[in-house]
Amino acid sequence: MPESSAAVPAPNSTPSDAVLYNEKLWPNVWIWLVSAGLSGAGILVFAPISLAAGLTAAVVLFVIIAVLLVLSTPTITVTESTLRVGRATIERRFVGTAAAFRGTDATAERGTRLNGLAFLCIRGWIDPVVRIEITDPSDRTPYWLTSTRHPDQLVTALNS
């Protein structure tokens, strides 16, 4: 079963591309359980035809759901020169301050305090978020908001 990875120092890399922080936003255990439950619906749909068809449909549905979950799992990578969140990449020179939010503050950042121009990489199964200010004058995006299981480590990597 996939697990979250905390900050991982880069082994013997050059200073310009040293990885300061790396995390994959894997789905939680309950997401996998829900996926298994949803794929079980295949049994209900195809069992009147035959039990073998129902079981086959359930397995095929689970494989499809699992592949989609794995392929859509974003990675957060902070190096000396770049920040990558999912498919988005920005040079570190355009990254301002970063702040971590948990609990009701994280909910407010994802909701009532959210700027419509912000870049989002949030996952519903991960509560903490980090708000990363963008200082590029040619970019209309005021900040990036990303889910993370290790907000303090990500903020430390970005603010260093």
Answer whether 62's CB lies under 8 Å from 35's CB.
Answer: yes
CATH 3.40.50 corresponds to the domain 15-25+73-159: no
pLDDT of residue 15: 53
How far is Cα 155 from Cα 160, in angstroms, rounded to an integer?
Answer: 8
Q: Which two tokens stand for residue 83?
A: 């920040």
**145: which strand partners?**
120, 131
Q: What is the pLDDT of residues 99-136, one digit of tens each?
A: 999 999 999 999 999 999 999 999 999 999 999 999 99
Rg (CA), the chain: 19
pLDDT of residue 23: 96
Give domain limits for the chain: 15-25+73-159, 29-71
- CA angle (43, 47, 49) in 5-degree steps: 140
pLDDT at 5 over 90: no
**77: which strand partners?**
22, 84
pTM of the model: 0.79
Q: What is the pLDDT of residues 10-64, one digit of tens each?
A: 444 455 588 999 999 999 999 999 999 999 888 888 888 889 989 999 999 999 9
Answer whether 67's CB lies under 8 Å from 56's CB.
Answer: no
**Crossing angle of the two packed helices 51-71 and 29-39, in degrees rounded to 10:** 150
